[in-house]
Amino acid sequence: MFLAWAGFDYFYDSKIIYFNHITSLIEKTITLENIPLTDFLGVENKNITELAAAFPKSKIISRGNEILIKGEGPDIIQITDILNSLMDHFHQFGRVNEENVRGYITQERQEFIPEDAPDGIILYGTRGSAIKPKTVNQQKLVKAIKDFDLVFALGPAGTGKTFVSVAMAIKALKNKQVKKIIITRPAVEAGENLGFLPGDLKEKIDPYLRPIYDALNDMVPHEKLKYYMEREIIEIAPLAYMRGRTLHNAFILLDEAQNTTPMQMKMFLTRMGPDSKMVVTGDTSQIDLPSNQRSGLKEAVRILNEVKGIGFVELNERDVVRHKLVRDIIEAYGKVNPSGQT
């Protein structure tokens, strides 16, 4: 066992313990799966030493393939996020060094993200990768969200409109510009019948919200995301749950807005409270409403087009950042059906 406490080093057995005097400890165990302990901890345990030094009020204990963390709630969340990121890094690159540890510590503690971040970086993802706009129109979307409290982002599948908007929401939360994030979608079937699915409305609609969860998982470490959602700092809910609320000091994203009715869209837009931002994203070529029902997104764009203080950004097939074939598919369908309606 290796012990580091108050500047003194003690050696005994083959385990590692770091601790200081702590009150009100919370315990968390991390299991290392398919990771050689010596490779993960580093030469002479330097990786874990680096991590422990960054959290002097917490205790980190290695027992076989498990790492036990003891400390206060905020430290536990941060240490867990860093260890999860390091495990992902090891599985991807086959090695972890002190520089990697320092990088993930810096990333985890980077509460404020500068407006003039290098290369237009919005934030850093869970794997340490930079998340930033990849096309000119995505850059326009980022600027519009900064400049306007209400933004409409229209474009076909794969153009990054939702992903960029979620990234801007996370950035606003980290920079303490808002106190919470609310992400919603209309509960409209896309060729499937929600009524036959089990559970309440939220449980029925959760599978349709999967792209939102995927984006959040790319940007927020698992334990922190769980913490945010349990405390409703990040809320993901069907559009019906917005009725009657005033959403203040929040970043609110309405996704798949082409499937709102005019009444639903008006209801949503009038939920906006003080110190809030709203982003509405949608693809008018993918409307799943009944043929006799007008799209609330189309109507809102027509009605609000001349209203000052609202931003409008249009993305197109040149902004597609999925597989290269997606762009060709969109163009091919556009030739057959120039109106874009499917």
Look at residue 15 and tell me whether its pLDDT is greater than 50: no
DSSP per-residue codes, 204-248: HHGGGGHHHHHHHHHHS-HHHHHHHHHTTSEEEEEGGGGTT--B-
Mapped onto helix, strand or coil, the DSSP state of residue 101 is helix
Confidence of residue 11 (pLDDT cuts 50, 70, 90): very low
Residue 223 near residue 229 (C-beta atoms within 8 A) = no
In this predicted model, what pLDDT tens digit does every residue of 140-155 receive, in sequence order? 999 999 999 999 999 9
The percentage of the chain sitting over the pLDDT mark of 90, rounded to a whole number, equals: 28
* Residue ranges of domains in the chain, CATH in brackets: 2-109 (3.30.1370.10), 118-336 (3.40.50.300)
Nearest residue to 108 (alpha-carbon basis) of 221, 27, 214: 221
Q: Which residue has the tokens 């027509």?
A: 302
In this predicted model, what pLDDT tens digit does every residue of 72-89 receive, in sequence order? 877 888 888 888 888 888
Number of H helices, E strands in the chain: 12, 14
DSSP 272: B
Look at residue 232 and tell me whether its pLDDT is greater than 50: yes
